[in-house]
């Protein structure tokens, strides 16, 4: 009986280790848009958004794992009721807002192609 319990718990621990190891492996792989996201940052584009904004979440979703490389600035206070000074100072009135090195400002969900055109960054094939 004791051997059965040990085997059961051993299998449970093995499954946990495999799942955690697999998730680490998947999350450590580069995203397919890493170079594009890095180029946006290098070209001086800045993405202003709020954690509660569904359009901001959709924009991040376009980038998948590469979203972590976006030049993102959070504008919302933690309670979601006010705007941080960094965004007030930039005159951010809607989300998402992209400000480019040229001074051009675009608000709303943009396509990857629009971002590429604005920054001259190349989209990976």
Q: Is the pLDDT of residue 32 over 70?
A: yes
Please say if the pLDDT value at position 2 is more than 90.
Answer: no
Q: What is the reported pTM?
A: 0.76
d(CA 70, CA 94): 18
pLDDT above 70 coverage of the chain, percent: 83
Three-state DSSP at 34 gives helix
Structure tokens at 69: 């490389």
pLDDT digits (tens, 9 = 90+) for 52-85: 999 999 999 999 999 999 999 999 999 999 999 9
DSSP-derived 3-state class of residue 103: coil
Please state which of the four CATH numbers 3.40.640.10, 3.40.30.10, 3.40.50.2020, 3.40.470.10 is assigned to the domain occupying 34-119: 3.40.30.10
Parallel, antiparallel, or unpaired for β 46-49 and 72-74? Answer: parallel
User: What is the band of 28 on the pLDDT scale with cuts at 50, 70, 90?
Assistant: low
Structure tokens at 77: 């206070």
Ranges of each domain in the chain = 1-30, 34-119
Give the N- to C-terminal CA distance of the chain in Å, as an integer. Answer: 58
């Amino acid at each position: 009986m004791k051997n059965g319990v040990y085997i059961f718990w051993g299998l449970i621990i093995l499954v946990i280790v495999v799942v955690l190891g697999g998730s680490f492996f998947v999350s450590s792989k580069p995203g397919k848009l890493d170079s594009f996201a890095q180029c946006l940052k290098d070209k001086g584009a800045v993405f202003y958004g709020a954690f509660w904004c569904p359009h901001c979440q959709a924009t991040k979703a376009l980038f998948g794992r590469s979203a972590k490389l976006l030049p993102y600035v959070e504008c919302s206070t933690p309670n979601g009721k006010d705007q941080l000074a960094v965004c007030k100072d930039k005159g951010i009135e809607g989300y998402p807002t992209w400000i480019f090195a040229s001074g051009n400002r675009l608000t709303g969900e943009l396509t990857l192609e629009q971002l590429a055109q604005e920054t001259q960054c190349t989209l990976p094939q």
